[in-house]
Amino acid sequence: MSRSNPRVLSTLERAGGFASAQEVYRLMQREGESIGLTTVYRSLQSLVNDKIVDVLRRDDGEAIYRLCGDAHHHHLVCKGCGDTVEIEGGAIEKWALNVAKDHGFREVGHTAEIFGLCSKC
């Protein structure tokens, strides 16, 4: 394992808290930082593990990393522009728990994402 290179997180922040690994890398290069693409990927993965950033997917499949609050939440993502809204999932939490219990499951978790076209697209 490796710890995250702090410059990666700071760059992601400067990028508006929303960028792909390749973009973070290019940004750092442009700013004269000396870093390898491998390290960028490793750092971002590490940040994801530590729940400091979220990872989503663009329509073309490229992973985009995004700073996130620590509360458990879900995303409403625009298929057009990639704009993302963090949403509360109260209803889903209960649904997931109930369904799982009905089937005798323990240690329950879930994933959920909503996507569509935002009003601007």
Partner DNA sequence: TCACAAATGAAAATGATTTTCATTTCCATA
Partner DNA sequence: TATGGAAATGAAAATCATTTTCATTTGTGA
- In the complex, the residues that contact DNA under the rule CB under 7 A are 1-3, 5, 20-22, 34-39, 41-43, 45, 61-63
DSSP, res 67: E
Binding track, positions 11-50, relative to a second copy; x by CB under 8 A: ----------------------------------------
> Which residues fall within 8 angstroms of residue 11, CB to CB, at 6 or more apart?
24, 27, 28, 31, 33
For a second copy, which stretch binds (CB under 8 A), given 9-17, 39-47, 65-73, 92-100? Answer: 92-100
| Of 27, 63, 67, 68, the one binding a second copy by CB under 8 A | 63
What is the signed CA dihedral for 113, 48, 118, 71, rounded to 10 degrees? Answer: 70
Instruction: Give yes or no for residue 70 binding a second copy (CB under 8 A).
Output: no
| Of 15, 52, 67, 76, the one binding a second copy by CB under 8 A | 76
Instruction: Give yes or no for residue 105 binding a second copy (CB under 8 A).
Output: yes
115/53 Cα distance (integer angstroms): 20
**115, 77 in Cβ contact below 8 A?**
yes
| Nearer Cβ to DNA (58/94) | 58
Closest to 119 in 3D by CA, of 93, 88, 80, 91: 80
